[in-house]
Structure 1
Amino acid sequence: MAVLLYLCATSWADAKVKLPALISDGMVLQREQSVKVWGTADAGESITVKFQKKSYHATADANGRWSITLPPLKAGGPFPMQVNDIKLNDILVGDVWLCSGQSNMELPVRRVMDMFSQEILSYNNEKIRHILIPQEYNFHAPQEELSETGWKTLTQENVMDFSALAYFFAKEMYEKTGIPVGLINSSWGGTPVEAWISEEGLKEFPLYINSKRLYEDDAYCSHIKKLEGENFYRWNLSLYRGDAGLHESIPWYAANYDDNSWQTVNMFSQSWGNNGLNPIGGSHWLRQDIEIPQSWNGKEATLRLGCIVDADSVYVNGVFVGTTGYQYPPRIYRIPAGVLKSGKNNVTVRIVSNGGQPSFVQEKPYKIICGNEEVNLKQEWKYRLGAPMPPAPEMMFFWYKPVCLYNAMIAPLQNYSIRGVLWYQGESNVSRRNEYVALLSAMIADWRRTFSQSELPFHIVELADFLSKDDLDGRRAWAEMRQEQAKAAAVNSNTYLIRNSDLGEWNDIHPLDKKTLGKRAAESVLSNTKQ
């Protein structure tokens, strides 16, 4: 009898319906379109979906797959949904936007707090939802399911992980229309457009198809990853062993270290960190003493160190306060209470250059903040080379390769009805801008097939202005890329370009003003799409 009960219980458990990550609590269903609800169960299992006082039925096929199509729905909610024994709550019906591209789409709200903190910290909206698609890649085939993820409501608890551009876009859309907004954030920094196109979509580009085939062998990819890991470990071990600043009896970051013999340099000068002709990779140490007022004694504070090329570890009075592994994020380090004292205090920065010129990015904040007061750091630092190194081993960024992101981050979305696409990408294709119109057009056609919408709206964000005025070749390349983006918008139906060049920052590839850009994205949608 016990065995029989166990078998019955097992059979019942196996028959339970499973839903994809997109079909979950808090989701936003696309209004005024047919909407699919889908999942898996045992073959032959009867499925019943109850929504808005109506029932819909299906039977799982021989492979256990099932889907039910709901008729077009009016905006509103929240509503519950029942799928057999699964109850979903807090479902909205509104407009769903796929927000995709590279780092300027991925850039989270926390990165724009310098400019918009007061607005962000005072705003909640239960009618705006965001789902972050896991960053994964696959060279074998389009995937049907995502790794674990879920819908998040725009609250103070969740907002920092929202895409900043998508956040301001959704806020403007809701304020103008009152319609709930769902944001599907499928983006990954540094990725080129060809990574987001299916193999079928790239059939006219044999170079990219052949490139993709190189990585279909899992053993080959595993070998490369293993070798990269070993090479990077050896490089860092050699760097660590060769850096006298970490091994002298008094380490160079100590508050009482005597740096009088060190060279004095201007932090923004190119005179340090190179041998007069070429940059020196490896570790570089910089120290400066600053005067802290009596009123700060023992208090918690914040150290702002702009942006640094490439990586850094930072100490205040010999206490480690933070590290960042690559050049783009702003350095914002908490100084714990009790570290600062009135009078002289020391800040030490250990910069690691992977092979290029180590540097502090100009026109960024370099200061210590305590409450409403701040002390600016000086431009003059004491400098000493730690451990000169050859360039760091190069890495194979597999997720930059053709097709792989389409397979893992777009294909699993294909059953989910969407209103349109916001696309912010192109920085990684500037060096191959002559083919961008063809590639982006291929992607637009590809995604329209994927989502079964022949006129799926695309709103393309123009690249922001970037680079120093002295970098004539670089600026010309970016300007030409913007022209290619405009051409792509012109030759594809229901495709629009969102002006962004004037919002750029010469010293930052990730400009902060995503609010103005979000409003422009909303204006593009509102002026070109029937509401």
Structure 2
Amino acid sequence: MNKVITILIAIVFSTFSGKADVKLADVFSDNMVLQRNLNVKVWGSAEPGEKVVLSFNGQKHRAKANKGGKWKVVLEPMTAGGPFDMTINGKNKIVLKNILIGDVWICSGQSNMQWPVSKSINAEEEIKNANYPNMRLFEVPRKVSNVPLDDIPNATWKECSPETVKNFSAVGYYFGRDLQKEIDVPIGLIHSSWGGTCAETWTSKASITSLPKYLDFGERIDNYDVSTMAQKYEDDLKQVLGGFPEKELGMTEQWMLPETDHSDWLSMNLPTLWENAGYKRLNGRVWFSYDFNLSKEALDSAQLHLGKIHDSDITWVNGTKVGQMNWANEVERVYTVPAQLLKVGKNNISVRVEDKYYKGGFASKAEKLFFQIGEQQMPLSGEWQFKVDTVIPDFKPFPNDVPSLLYNAMIHPLIPFGIRGVIWYQGESNTPRSKEYAITFPNLISNWREDWQQGDFPFLFVQLANYQKATAIPKEDAWAELRESQMMTLRLNNTGMAVAIDIGEANDIHPKNKQEVGHRLMKSALKVAYGKDIVHSGPMYKSMQIEGNKAIISFDHVGSGLSVKSKHGYINEFQMAGADKQFYWAKAKLDGDKIIVWSDNVEQPVAVRFAWSRNPAEFNLYNKEGLPASPFRTDDWEGITDGKSFDD
């Protein structure tokens, strides 16, 4: 009998001690901002059936954990203010301190949203002055999942200070700082972004599989095994390479010298990204070598054209360095080769390529690889020898492998935390399928709004900045098509677009002037989210009228008038075409709030395009409020990304 009693006591004790503590969802912590003027949901977990009492700012709410151990209360709308404490009582007691009530904004997208304050212009001064105790920052750790998650481990709200802001999103911070100065309420910024990611990975499984081209993606998402994928990537790469190098040897053994023994080197047909050649998930340093012959008559100063290289390179000719670029994956390499470096007979080109993220190697088309001496061009495309010198052993599932991986891990755990709206900077990774972005991006916005159940909250986004070398002649362009898809997204209610076509950098996909990007987003917020009577957008195409050999273009959002930043008054970056669809550079001039466009090469105009390129470097059209006009085209002719989708 005593033994039975002892066992019963042990069971009772273990059951009692095993009861789960009352917990809050990870998005709730000290220093947070709760959304004003909204029924704010607060939720967490507890032992099934446990009663929970939450007290905050004069309100007291009771809840009971359901069979799954989940509980939720809804706070009545509150005006801006604080700081306040929040108390949650159940089996245990939780007290959260220093809570403000104000406006909360999600800051999401890819690398230009992820780009930190410490790497923006005037960073040292900006960080030193970042003392804003009524602005709070929350950083969502980067993680992938093929199923929706509820947890955000190791994340807490922090007061904005020089220490906490330096690695925070620059666009997010400058937006929040400028907004707070305008509306004078506490601001909460939740940063959830990941460089190099596409819109599809930020979209839920239910939403993305509702689109025609994604109907069968549900099974692919379900079968994506995050836990084993990293090991699979490593094992597959080891097998194809025959193992990884133990240490880096290329520079110490001087593999750039022509006499280097290449007998154990592999071969690869260039140009190509090495992932496309079968070396998937290879990040590190890879050497390439190519021999070519010259005659005595050909010995003259030359140019070596290698096209675009992802991401860094050092290049030698006959053992002498002729060029180097760091993290410039969209810059075409053109290196001068002095005549004295060349010799009759065999010559050697050696290129050490370094890539730390995503895909590496030679990214241009074959015609971009050549050696030019005078008028002669020697093609360099074809078989090169290569050797892997370093492998970065950082094998992780990549967010773009299948859709929904980042929605599940980095957005779903935030829902339904009360927010004022979203700011978004993304699109670069969707340029291979720009036309489809006119479907997938609005779908993402509708997806978030539906899941948050807060109505059509404001969703503000950045149109892609100018980037890469300016083109000499008009041509089709994927980046221009992406910008058009972004502009078309403005058809959704409560959306706004910050145009950045004039503040990019030709040689850097991450322009440093994030202050202006944040400021333009803030202007959009004042109009869309707060109903301020301000000019929040630059001129946007409205209509075209043809009169003879001229086109007359009308605009919305002219503000107090159109403005041309040119002492001569000429408007740059216009193109015109006739029925043959052949575009030519066009002339343009102001006529009040309209623009008259014509071209000596087009007698009967049919279509006009403006700033239709990756980098319209001579852009100079604004309204008098200083906001740039958005690129546009009047035609709907087939582009270079029509029909492209996720697997293309």
Cα offset, 1:62, TM superposition: 1.6
* CA distances 1:493-515 after superposition (whole Å, capped 9, x unpaired): 11111111111111111111110
Tell me which amino acid in the other structure corresponds to 1:52: N
Of residues 272, 283, 292, the one that matches 2:287 is: 283
Match of 1:79 in 2: 84
Q: Match of 2:166, SS?
A: helix
Q: In the alignment, does 2:62 pair up with 1:57?
A: yes
Q: Does structure 2 conserve the Cα–Cα contact (< 8 Å) formed by 1:503 and 1:511? A: yes
CA distance in 2, matches of 1:409, 1:418: 15
Cα offset, 1:401, TM superposition: 2.0
Q: Does structure 1 conserve the Cα–Cα contact (< 8 Å) formed by 2:460 and 2:521? A: yes
Of residues 28, 32, 41, the one that matches 2:37 is: 32
Match of 1:527 in 2: 527
CA distance in 2, matches of 1:64, 1:460: 38
CA distance in 1, matches of 2:438, 2:161: 39
CA distance in 2, matches of 1:492, 1:243: 53
* CA distances 1:126-185 after superposition (whole Å, capped 9, x unpaired): 111111112222223x32332331112111221122111000001101111211111111
Distance 1:57 1:246, change over 3 A: same
Q: Match of 1:201, SS?
A: helix
CA distance in 2, matches of 1:211, 1:147: 28
Distance 1:242 1:137, change over 3 A: closer
Cα offset, 1:261, TM superposition: 9.6
Of residues 177, 182, 186, the one that matches 1:171 is: 177
Cα offset, 1:460, TM superposition: 1.5
By relative contact order (CA 8 Å, sep 6+), the higher-ranking structure is 1
Distance 1:83 1:472, change over 3 A: farther
Q: In the alignment, does 2:146 pair up with 1:139?
A: yes
Match of 1:425 in 2: 426
Q: Match of 1:517, SS?
A: helix
Tell me which amino acid in the other structure corresponds to 1:388: F
Q: Does structure 1 conserve the Cα–Cα contact (< 8 Å) formed by 2:33 and 2:104? A: yes
* CA distances 1:329-380 after superposition (whole Å, capped 9, x unpaired): 9xxxxxxxxxxxxxxxxxxx9753642279xxxxxxxxxxxxxxxxxxxxxx
CA distance in 2, matches of 1:395, 1:184: 24
Q: Does structure 2 conserve the Cα–Cα contact (< 8 Å) formed by 1:100 and 1:185? A: yes
Q: Does structure 2 conserve the Cα–Cα contact (< 8 Å) formed by 1:130 and 1:152? A: yes
Match of 2:444 in 1: 443
CA distance in 2, matches of 1:5, 1:87: 32
Q: Does structure 2 conserve the Cα–Cα contact (< 8 Å) formed by 1:133 and 1:149? A: yes
Q: In the alignment, does 2:215 pair up with 1:201?
A: no
Runs ≥4 residues deviating over 6 A: 234-239, 259-262, 274-277, 390-396, 471-475
Distance 1:77 1:99, change over 3 A: same
Match of 1:48 in 2: 53
Match of 1:505 in 2: 505
Percent identity between the aligned chains? 34
Cα offset, 1:199, TM superposition: 2.4
Distance 1:439 1:309, change over 3 A: closer
Cα offset, 1:242, TM superposition: 10
Q: Does structure 1 conserve the Cα–Cα contact (< 8 Å) formed by 2:145 and 2:405? A: yes
Q: Match of 1:410, SS?
A: helix
Tell me which amino acid in the other structure corresponds to 1:154: C
Moved more, 226-235 or 403-412: 226-235
CA distance in 2, matches of 1:207, 1:61: 39
CA distance in 2, matches of 1:223, 1:29: 38
Tell me which amino acid in the other structure corresponds to 1:500: A
Cα offset, 1:402, TM superposition: 1.3
CA distance in 1, matches of 2:247, 2:51: 67
Structure 2 length as normaliser, TM-score? 0.59
Q: Match of 1:439, SS?
A: helix
Match of 2:459 in 1: 458
CA distance in 1, matches of 2:219, 2:472: 37
Q: Does structure 2 conserve the Cα–Cα contact (< 8 Å) formed by 1:466 and 1:475? A: no
Q: Does structure 2 conserve the Cα–Cα contact (< 8 Å) formed by 1:212 and 1:401? A: no
Moved more, 192-201 or 39-48: 192-201
CA distance in 1, matches of 2:473, 2:152: 43
* CA distances 1:74-128 after superposition (whole Å, capped 9, x unpaired): 111111110110000111100000111111111122222x533212222211111
Distance 1:2 1:401, change over 3 A: same
Distance 1:474 1:117, change over 3 A: farther
Q: Does structure 2 conserve the Cα–Cα contact (< 8 Å) formed by 1:465 and 1:505? A: yes
Q: In the alignment, does 2:133 pair up with 1:126?
A: yes
Q: Match of 2:222, SS?
A: coil
CA distance in 2, matches of 1:422, 1:137: 21
Match of 1:93 in 2: 101
Q: Match of 1:14, SS?
A: coil
Q: In the alignment, does 2:188 pair up with 1:182?
A: yes
Q: In the alignment, does 2:133 pair up with 1:117?
A: no
Cα offset, 1:485, TM superposition: 0.5
* CA distances 1:243-277 after superposition (whole Å, capped 9, x unpaired): 754564xxx59xxxxx9999xxxxxxxxxxx9998
Of residues 28, 35, 60, the one that matches 1:23 is: 28
Cα offset, 1:403, TM superposition: 2.0
Q: Does structure 1 conserve the Cα–Cα contact (< 8 Å) formed by 2:221 and 2:403? A: no
CA distance in 2, matches of 1:351, 1:30: 48
Distance 1:6 1:87, change over 3 A: farther
Q: Match of 2:509, SS?
A: coil
Q: Match of 2:487, SS?
A: helix
* CA distances 1:286-307 after superposition (whole Å, capped 9, x unpaired): xxxxxxxxxxxxxxxxxxxxx9
Q: Match of 1:460, SS?
A: strand
Cα offset, 1:397, TM superposition: 2.7
Match of 1:103 in 2: 111
Q: Match of 2:477, SS?
A: helix
Q: Match of 2:38, SS?
A: coil
Match of 1:388 in 2: 386
Cα offset, 1:389, TM superposition: 3.0
Q: Does structure 1 conserve the Cα–Cα contact (< 8 Å) formed by 2:309 and 2:361? A: no
Q: Does structure 2 conserve the Cα–Cα contact (< 8 Å) formed by 1:115 and 1:513? A: no
CA distance in 2, matches of 1:191, 1:388: 29
Tell me which amino acid in the other structure corresponds to 2:168: F
Distance 1:429 1:239, change over 3 A: same
CA distance in 2, matches of 1:279, 1:452: 46
Cα offset, 1:67, TM superposition: 0.6
Structure 1 length as normaliser, TM-score? 0.71
Cα offset, 1:390, TM superposition: 7.7
* CA distances 1:177-235 after superposition (whole Å, capped 9, x unpaired): 2111111111111111111222222243243242342242255x666533321344567
Distance 1:181 1:195, change over 3 A: same
Of residues 217, 220, 229, the one that matches 1:214 is: 220
Q: Does structure 2 conserve the Cα–Cα contact (< 8 Å) formed by 1:199 and 1:209? A: no
> Which runs of 5 or more structure 2 residues have no equivalent in the other structure?
260-266, 275-285, 290-307, 315-324, 331-350, 365-384, 532-648
- Structure with more of its chain in helix, by fraction: 1
Match of 2:373 in 1: none
Cα offset, 1:7, TM superposition: 5.3
Cα offset, 1:239, TM superposition: 7.4
In our comparison, the structure showing a higher alpha carbon Rg is 2
Distance 1:517 1:352, change over 3 A: closer
